[in-house]
Amino acid sequence: MDFKTNQVPLSLIDSEDQTFRITTETGIDDILDSIKNVGLINPPILIKKKSKYTIICGFRRIAACRILGLLNIEAKIPGSNADKLDCVKFAITDNSFQRPLNLIEQSRALFMLSGFFKDMISLANEALSLGLPHNPALIKKIINIYHLPLLIQNCVLSNIISLSMAVELGTFEKDAGITFVKIFNDLKLGLNKQREIITLINEISLRENIPVMKVIQESGFQEILQNDELDRTKKTEKLRFYLKKRRYPSITRAEQKFEELVKELKLGNGMKLIPPKNFEGNTFSIKLLFNNLKDLQDHADTLKKIIRNPAFKKQVSPDI
């Protein structure tokens, strides 16, 4: 593709038109210093649109030139045979060849490209030629991010949520997705706890036939979330317990009863009573840790006391 290099008045460049913007970077301090000291080494690419110019690439360079008070800048103008797809490729290439694109930038690039290809195979081949992710399944996930609210996109950039979590949040109503990322950010939750909370809330919503936001907005949930006397760890624990109690009331009651039993038994160090998984069935197990015969004898004495304990008998043999 041939380019003409022209001097273009900054007043004729439409910085409001973000059609071809790829970068998520907004800071320009580094560019300001570079242009101030050595000039504009890499001219932006512009395309004439009626009486003004649309930016294909070079948004930050142009912003820096405005701040420096320049009236005209050197710019590269594609030939008259350049179409919109060419412009998209210019924008992607200019950004991706400078540095690896982050997920949001990839989503913008792939979304722009997707409008020009009818099938995923053609899109994947074009993405490959431009240094973008080219696995069709991954492309679909990344493009989905483009449509998410800005707050969720920013959380992806900040590594608060992963790509898979962002895609999952996109399946909820907009308000619910935004509320989830605010909770994740405030409590600094890892992926496993994020997924656990989403799963519990979604299952409560389906089980009780109420909207997801209604589960989140109920007083029990909000009282924990807004309790300033609790640190993030305690809030997370209480929220998980609250949601489990709502989702699995019988299991929650069994857990509470079992915890009370363990306290009463006073097992001591080196002995652990393990209940059936999800408290289904009657098979309990006991784990013993010992360093010598005396430790083992102490465990044996404790076991005799446990066997005689009425509460334990009732727990393991409720029909007796």
DSSP string of 134-193, one letter each residue = --HHHHHHHHHHHTS-HHHHHHHHTTSS-HHHHHHHTTS-HHHHHHHHHHHHHHT--HHH
Q: Please state whether 153 falls in left (phi above 0), alpha (psi between -120 and 50) or beta.
A: alpha
Burial class (CB in 10 A: 0-12, 13-18, 19+), 3: middle
Residue with the larger pLDDT of the pair 306 and 17: 17
The overall average pLDDT reported for the chain is 90
* 24 pLDDT above the threshold of 80: yes
C-alpha–C-alpha distance, residues 183 and 232, integer Å = 10
Q: Which of 40, 51, 41, 42 is nearest to 17 (CA)?
A: 51
Name the band, by pLDDT with cuts 50, 70 and 90, for residue 62: very high
Write down the pLDDT at residue 254.
Answer: 78
Which residues make Cβ contacts (< 8 Å) with residue 112, sequence separation at least 6? Answer: 20, 88, 91, 92
Write down the pLDDT at residue 250.
Answer: 74
**Residues 67-123: tens digit of each pLDDT:** 999 999 999 999 878 899 999 999 999 988 888 999 999 999 999 999 999 899 999
Task: Please state the rounded mean pLDDT for residues 237-254.
Answer: 84
Name the band, by pLDDT with cuts 50, 70 and 90, for residue 283: confident
Write down the pLDDT at residue 114.
Answer: 95
Write down the pLDDT at residue 89.
Answer: 94
Write down the pLDDT at residue 73.
Answer: 93
How much of the chain exceeds pLDDT 90, in percent?
Answer: 64
CATH 1.20.1560.10 is held by the domain 1-99: no
Q: Are 218 and 212 in contact (CB under 8 A)?
A: no
Residue with the larger pLDDT of the pair 312 and 189: 189
* 308 pLDDT above the threshold of 90: no
Write down the pLDDT at residue 212.
Answer: 95
Name the band, by pLDDT with cuts 50, 70 and 90, for residue 319: low
> Which residues are bridge partners to 55 per DSSP?
46
Do β-strands 52-57 and 13-14 pair in parallel, antiparallel, or remain unpaired?
parallel
